[in-house]
């Protein structure tokens, strides 16, 4: 077949990726890839965690999707049947928020005015729009999924399967209506989950915080008061109790004519804050427990809303009361604070809920009724002042929760919500969690910790666009949960026809028209207005998307998932949690066998990425700038358990260190193969591919790399490394240890580039086409084609570029794309530990040798007499003999010496420790110095080592009074590393110098050829002008010069001007101070 396409070393990777995308599309590669294992038995079940179809992708989405694509590709190449289903999450508050922004809505009232139906339609449209956008972007990433069959959490099947789940819970009696105090945004008119607040919902806010008195009313305490502090004055009207820490000591103090109690430890700070005057006088001390039970008059006892609780006002014991701030006595309003509510429950208090959903006081709160909680602060203070209860108002700055959408300060509201009781589910969930494999491993402990602490699951949300909770609560107190569309139809007494006409999608507002009859009292019942928690939508997908209800046989084949993957910080209490709940309830099973989780993306400097901060990177921008292979490799080589600092600089680094070197090898190979007309048909290494060229699929396994075929030790080495690489990558990918797999490839490419190719270059350059050359081509070809398959899951574009040029378009019957090939199998018989160790040693010693040369400033092209190597292990002494020739070439030396044969490379030099000896001996230092120099350094070193006293010329020196240095033997330059050492003899003989000169001249001529624009094969005539000494030196190496530079006629020692030639290409070399050489060349 034909030549390889020539490979431009200066490739535009982004443009190439676009070409490949188009080619994949034109040739239906993704579909053919997905169909590859349709007839296979073994399955790999991946269940996608749905991506929220709410915005375009950022690079952090590309990170997670790279993992998904990578492992799916790996399993596909291994021959596992898969489903390739992507998922979109498209219900819930996130979507509503974006649509509200889009439409310029400020609150729920705007939505109601616009029309819930139209609003929900807008939400759906947004989801569809961004689902399409994300699909396109994912394709650009090289993500091969079945894009026409993505699932949507907003689908009817998804929603109705959740109904089935809820009904199952209800049948067990786990669903209940509860009251709770929850953070609430009065502007948006909705509750926020704890999670929504934790992520970005706190701001530093300064509040007017009053100190006030609660007058005690028990006999014997008349005229005494509790001193109370609050940061939320609007809650005082809902006060029911006060709390003290029973362990604390409380001070009874007289100040400004009244008696007050507060925590004694706060005495001074209250004075400092001017809550107390300087005249405040300590009268007595009491234990907190002695205050417990005392009754008091609440500040707004006159309000009708207080009727029910007026006789409940008393002091409670609560060990959560702190004494860092405030007064050590806590105002408790169970209807307006989460912790208060809990404490109230424990003590049988009646909560008073003062606010409606817009944060306005309801009836029964006198002058506050109809006012917003945010506006009553001054009315509260005035009223307190009037009653003589206000002591002081201070400014107080603290972190206070705000709405993450509109920054409105949150209030706490007592509301009805629907819950799933987790008591009976928890043990099943714990069991499932323990059975699952977590990567990283600590994920299991995290999840178990969350399960231990989790409370009942609040599944309702007072919004519009989401799962319509199938709960029908009758005024008679009975409620029912419906489990399917059929059940709804059966039970409907009103509105079914209209609902069906609307498409029977279980969404507000259409579903709300359907009413059923209460099975207890027969009354007509509405669906509760709430929609479902969004994690219900995502948690059900291992059931809804694989036909749990519609095709149970199919479902059984694919459940539980073999693998799921998502970013972990939030998912322990979100997706992972809801998956586990649902699998536990419906099947008492684990939802997935392997959970792969990864951390957070940061910007290049380690700062959190935020759209508002401007350091977030959109996927498209990054794809255009750095290319997706570079992006994918950056992700693949990273340890998923730690945060990834990502940016264009890291991208450049990855490109420079991995992608370009790989490309350069590929470019090098095609350049020379084409020059030599080498084609895959000439390859003497059988293909290891999963297709048959000549009917012999076992040929690769049976390969013996014989020297008769020209294979050298270098070839055997790199193929050994290659097969070990295959084994390592397979192991690591099968155990989800991605970075190890990636590191192994990087090391291999480095070895291939900087040792195999470099050491083999001459084999490719030489003109004759012998077995040695063919072995080199065959070996490098095998490395590159195997690499293309190993890299296919990681960098699908560059892998296919290489594969198509090297294989698909050159070899008959080869699959069209690397993505239609199988995963390489390691031929373990080619793995040769000895040759790998030996080569590793050679690489190490060569590096030491170059280092030694660098120290002595002797260029590699100057030949040197000998290289002395110091090694550590027995086998290395033997290996040294075998790598002798390699080292001679690498280091350009005439001989290799084992340091053990000359008694080691390093000697000791003993010096006086002047800092100690100076003050002690003064002028005698000179004598000591001389004595030390004359003495046996080895003997002193031994003595120092043993901490013995050194007796020398009448001086008794302690071991710390001398300094020992290791020095190179005379005439050598030494480099050491981890117990290995290499040294070059730095004495240059005339003969060696002549050879060095010849090589220097050749180098300059080669440069000149290049800069003169000559082809590699052009022949030249050469004139060299130099002194007599240099002339004779060059003459001894004239054959070498002529051969290396393809010279037909050479003239050395001429004076150029005498020739009078007009040679355009000349160059001057300054050999040393005296000698300079001028070379001139012309094309023949």
Residues that bind RNA (CB under 7 A): 9-13, 194-195, 198-199, 442, 445-446, 449-450, 453, 455, 569, 572-573, 606, 639, 641-643, 645, 653, 656-657, 660-661, 664-665, 667-668, 737, 740, 743, 750, 753-754, 757-758, 761, 765, 847-848, 850-851, 854-855, 857, 859-861, 872-873, 975, 977-979, 1003, 1006-1007, 1009-1010, 1014-1016, 1018
Least Cβ distance, residue 929 to RNA (angstroms): 25
Which lies closer to RNA via its Cβ, residue 681 or residue 878?
878
Q: Cα separation of 306 and 312, whole Å?
A: 10
Which lies closer to RNA via its Cβ, residue 381 or residue 450?
450
Which lies closer to RNA via its Cβ, residue 251 or residue 718?
718
Which lies closer to RNA via its Cβ, residue 343 or residue 384?
343
Least Cβ distance, residue 406 to RNA (angstroms): 21
Least Cβ distance, residue 752 to RNA (angstroms): 8
Least Cβ distance, residue 1044 to RNA (angstroms): 9
SS (H, E, C) 292-331: CCCEECCCCCCCHHHCCCHHHCEEEECCCCCCCCCCCEEE
Nearest CA to 426 out of 443, 445, 442, 448 is that of 448
Classify strands 315-317 and 241-244 as parallel, antiparallel or unpaired.
parallel
Q: Cα separation of 103 and 119, whole Å?
A: 9
Nearest CA to 920 out of 964, 956, 953 is that of 956
Least Cβ distance, residue 334 to RNA (angstroms): 16
What are the residues whose beta carbons fall under 8 Å from the beta carbon of 920, sequence distance 6 or more?
A: none
Which lies closer to RNA via its Cβ, residue 56 or residue 1016?
1016
Q: Three-state SS for 787?
A: helix
Which lies closer to RNA via its Cβ, residue 74 or residue 144?
74
Least Cβ distance, residue 621 to RNA (angstroms): 17
Least Cβ distance, residue 140 to RNA (angstroms): 19
Nearest CA to 574 out of 155, 1013, 194 is that of 194
Least Cβ distance, residue 976 to RNA (angstroms): 7
Q: Cα separation of 160 and 504, whole Å?
A: 11
Q: What are phi and psi of 109, to 5 degrees?
A: -65, -35
Nearest CA to 1024 out of 993, 1043, 1049 is that of 1049
> Both tokens of residue 558?
């694919």
The continuous run of DSSP H or E covering 785 comes out as helix 771-791
Listing DSSP states for 368-385 in one string gives GTTSBGGG-HHHHHHHHH
Quick one: angle between helices 884-891 and 833-856, nearest 10?
A: 30
Q: Three-state SS for 697?
A: coil
Least Cβ distance, residue 153 to RNA (angstroms): 22
Least Cβ distance, residue 819 to RNA (angstroms): 24
Which lies closer to RNA via its Cβ, residue 267 or residue 740?
740
The continuous run of DSSP H or E covering 587 comes out as helix 575-587
Q: Cα separation of 306 and 296, whole Å?
A: 13
Which lies closer to RNA via its Cβ, residue 369 or residue 862?
862
Which lies closer to RNA via its Cβ, residue 294 or residue 660?
660
| Angle subtended at Cα 899 by Cα 856 and Cα 833, rounded to the nearest 5 degrees | 105
Least Cβ distance, residue 132 to RNA (angstroms): 32
Least Cβ distance, residue 1030 to RNA (angstroms): 17
- How many other C-beta atoms can be found within 10 angstroms of the C-beta atom of residue 945? 10
> Both tokens of residue 865?
């007499």
* Residues paired with 517 in a beta bridge: 524
Least Cβ distance, residue 208 to RNA (angstroms): 25
> Both tokens of residue 435?
């059975």
Which lies closer to RNA via its Cβ, residue 397 or residue 1007?
1007
Least Cβ distance, residue 1006 to RNA (angstroms): 4
Which lies closer to RNA via its Cβ, residue 497 or residue 977?
977
What are the residues whose beta carbons fall under 8 Å from the beta carbon of 115, sequence distance 6 or more?
A: none
Q: Cα separation of 1084 and 1078, whole Å?
A: 19
Listing DSSP states for 93-124 in one string gives HHHHHHHHHHHT--SHHHHHHH-HHHHHHHHH
Which lies closer to RNA via its Cβ, residue 269 or residue 667?
667
Give the gyration radius of the chain's Cα atoms: 41
Which lies closer to RNA via its Cβ, residue 526 or residue 731?
731
Ramachandran bin of 52, using left for φ above 0, alpha for ψ from -120 to 50, beta for the remaining angles: beta
> Both tokens of residue 1072?
């040393």
Q: Cα separation of 741 and 732, whole Å?
A: 6
Which lies closer to RNA via its Cβ, residue 512 or residue 1044?
1044
> Both tokens of residue 26?
């034109």
Which lies closer to RNA via its Cβ, residue 157 or residue 743?
743
Least Cβ distance, residue 161 to RNA (angstroms): 27
Which lies closer to RNA via its Cβ, residue 447 or residue 480?
447
Least Cβ distance, residue 309 to RNA (angstroms): 24
Q: Cα separation of 5 and 128, whole Å?
A: 42
Least Cβ distance, residue 1047 to RNA (angstroms): 11
Q: Per 3-state DSSP, what percentage of the chain is helix, strand, and coil (rounded to 5)? A: 45, 20, 35
The continuous run of DSSP H or E covering 254 comes out as strand 249-255
Least Cβ distance, residue 137 to RNA (angstroms): 23
Which lies closer to RNA via its Cβ, residue 834 or residue 977?
977
Establish whether the linkage from the previous residue to 788 is cis, with ω within 30° of 0: no
Dihedral (Cα; 749, 751, 756, 759), 10-degree rounding: 130
Which lies closer to RNA via its Cβ, residue 827 or residue 1045?
1045
Q: What are phi and psi of 414, to 5 degrees?
A: -90, 120
Listing DSSP states for 171-235 in one string gives HTT-EEEEEEEEEEETTTTEE--HHHHHHH-EEEEEEEEEEEEEEB-STT-TTEEEEEE-S-GGG
């Amino acid at each position: 077949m034909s030549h390889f396409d020539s490979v431009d070393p200066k490739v535009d990777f982004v443009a190439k990726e676009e070409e490949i995308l188009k080619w994949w599309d034109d040739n239906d590669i993704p579909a053919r890839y997905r169909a590859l294992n349709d007839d296979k038995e073994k399955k790999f079940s991946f269940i996608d965690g749905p991506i929220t179809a709410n915005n375009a992708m950022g690079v952090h989405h590309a990170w997670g999707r790279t993992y998904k694509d990578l492992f799916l590709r790996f399993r596909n190449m291994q021959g596992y049947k898969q489903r390739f289903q992507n998922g979109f999450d498209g219900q819930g508050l996130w979507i509503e928020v974006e649509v509200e922004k889009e439409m310029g809505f400020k609150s729920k009232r705007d939505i109601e005015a616009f029309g819930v139906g139209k609003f929900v339609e807008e939400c759906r449209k947004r989801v569809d729009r961004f689902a399409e956008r994300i699909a396109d972007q994912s394709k650009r990433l090289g993500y091969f999924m079945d894009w026409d069959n993505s699932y949507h959490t907003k689908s009817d099947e998804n929603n109705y399967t959740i109904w089935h789940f809820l009904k199952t819970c209800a049948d067990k009696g786990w669903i209940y209506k509860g009251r709770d105090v929850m953070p609430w945004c009065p502007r948006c008119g909705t509750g926020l989950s704890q999670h929504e607040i934790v992520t970005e919902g706190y701001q530093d806010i300064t509040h007017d915080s009053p100190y006030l008195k609660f007058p005690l009313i028990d006999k014997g305490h008349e005229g005494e008061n509790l001193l109370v502090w609050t940061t939320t004055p609007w809650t005082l009207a809902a006060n029911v109790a006060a709390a003290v820490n029973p362990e604390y000591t409380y001070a009874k103090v007289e100040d400004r004519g009244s008696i007050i109690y507060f925590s004694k430890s706060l005495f001074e700070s209250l004075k400092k804050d001017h809550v107390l005057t300087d005249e405040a006088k300590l009268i007595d001390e009491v234990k907190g427990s002695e205050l417990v039970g005392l009754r008091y008059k609440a500040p707004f006892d006159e309000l009708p809303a207080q009727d029910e609780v007026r006789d409940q006002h008393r002091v409670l014991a609560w060990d959560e009361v702190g004494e860092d701030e405030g007064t050590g006595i806590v105002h408790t309003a169970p209807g307006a604070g989460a912790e208060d509510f809990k404490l109230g429950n424990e003590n049988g208090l009646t909560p008073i809920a003062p606010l409606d959903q817009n944060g306005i006081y309801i009836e029964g709160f006198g002058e506050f009724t109809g006012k917003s909680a945010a506006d009553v602060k001054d009315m509260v203070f005035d009223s307190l002042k009037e009653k003589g209860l206000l002591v002081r108002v201070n400014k107080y700055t603290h972190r206070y929760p705000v709405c993450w959408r509109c920054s409105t300060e949150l209030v706490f509201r007592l509301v009805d919500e629907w819950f799933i009781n987790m008591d009976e589910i928890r043990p099943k969930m714990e069991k499932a969690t323990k059975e699952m494999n977590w990567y990283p491993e600590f994920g299991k402990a995290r999840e178990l910790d969350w399960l231990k602490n989790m409370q009942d699951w609040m599944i309702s949300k007072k919004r519009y666009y989401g799962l319509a909770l199938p709960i029908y609560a009758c005024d008679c107190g009975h409620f029912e949960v419906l489990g399917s569309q059929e059940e709804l139809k059966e039970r409907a007494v009103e509105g079914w026809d209209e609902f069906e006409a609307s498409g029977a999608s279980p969404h507000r507002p259409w579903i709300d028209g359907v009413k059923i009859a209460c099975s207890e009292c027969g009354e007509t019942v509405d669906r509760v207005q709430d929609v479902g928690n969004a994690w219900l939508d995502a948690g059900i997908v291992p059931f809804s998307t694989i036909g749990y209800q519609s095709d149970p046989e199919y479902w059984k084949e694919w459940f539980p998932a073999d693998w799921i993957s998502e970013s972990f910080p939030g998912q322990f209490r979100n997706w992972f949690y809801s998956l586990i709940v649902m699998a536990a309830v419906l099947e008492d099973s684990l939802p997935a066998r392997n959970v792969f989780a990864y951390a957070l993306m940061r910007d290049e400097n380690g700062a959190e990425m935020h759209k508002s901060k401007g350091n977030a990177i959109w996927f498209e921008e990054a794809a255009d700038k750095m290319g997706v292979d570079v992006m994918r490799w950056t992700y693949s080589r990273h340890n998923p358990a730690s945060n990834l600092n990502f940016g264009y600089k890291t991208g450049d680094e990855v490109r420079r260190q991995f992608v370009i070197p790989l490309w350069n090898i590929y470019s090098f190979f095609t350049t020379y193969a084409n020059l030599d007309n080498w084609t895959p048909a000439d390859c003497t290494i059988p293909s290891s591919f999963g297709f048959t060229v000549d009917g012999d699929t076992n040929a690769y396994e049976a390969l013996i790399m014989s020297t008769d075929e020209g294979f050298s030790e270098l070839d055997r080495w790199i193929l050994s490394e290659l097969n070990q690489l295959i084994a390592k990558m397979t192991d690591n990918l099968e155990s989800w240890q991605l970075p190890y797999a990636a590191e192994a490839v990087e090391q291999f490419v480095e070895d291939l580039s900087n040792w195999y190719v470099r050491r083999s270059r001459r084999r490719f350059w030489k003109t004759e086409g012998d077995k040695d050359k063919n072995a080199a081509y065959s070996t490098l070809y095998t490395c590159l084609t195997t690499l293309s398959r190993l890299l296919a899951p990681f960098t699908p574009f560059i892998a296919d570029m290489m594969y198509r040029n090297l294989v698909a378009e050159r070899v008959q019957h080869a699959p069209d794309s690397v993505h239609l090939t199988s995963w390489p199998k390691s031929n373990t018989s080619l793995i040769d530990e000895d040759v790998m160790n030996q080569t590793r040693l050679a690489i190490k010693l060569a590096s030491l040798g170059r280092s030694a040369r660098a120290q002595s400033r002797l260029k590699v092209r100057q030949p040197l007499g000998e290289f002395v190597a110091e090694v550590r292990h027995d086998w290395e002494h033997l290996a040294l003999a075998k790598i002798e020739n390699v080292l001679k070439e690498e280091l350009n030396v005439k001989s290799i010496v084992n340091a053990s044969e000359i008694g080691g490379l390093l000697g000791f030099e003993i010096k006086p420790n002047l800092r100690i000896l100076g003050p002690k001996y003064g002028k005698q230092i000179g004598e000591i110095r001389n004595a030390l120099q004359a003495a046996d350094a080895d003997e002193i070193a031994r003595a120092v080592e043993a901490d013995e006293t050194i007796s020398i010329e009448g001086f008794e020196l302690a071991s710390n009074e001398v300094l020992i240095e290791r020095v190179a033997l005379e005439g050598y330059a030494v480099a050491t590393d981890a117990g290995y050492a290499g040294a070059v003899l730095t004495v240059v003989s005339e003969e060696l110098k002549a050879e060095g000169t010849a090589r220097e001249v050749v180098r300059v001529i080669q440069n000149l050829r290049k800069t003169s624009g000559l082809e590699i094969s052009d022949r030249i005539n050469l004139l060299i002008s130099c002194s007599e000494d240099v002339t004779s030196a060059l003459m001894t190496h004239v054959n070498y010069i002529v051969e290396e530079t393809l010279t037909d006629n050479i003239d050395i020692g001429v004076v150029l001007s005498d020739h009078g030639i007009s040679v355009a290409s000349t160059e001057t070399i300054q050999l040393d101070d005296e000698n300079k050489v001028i070379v001139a060349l012309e094309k023949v």
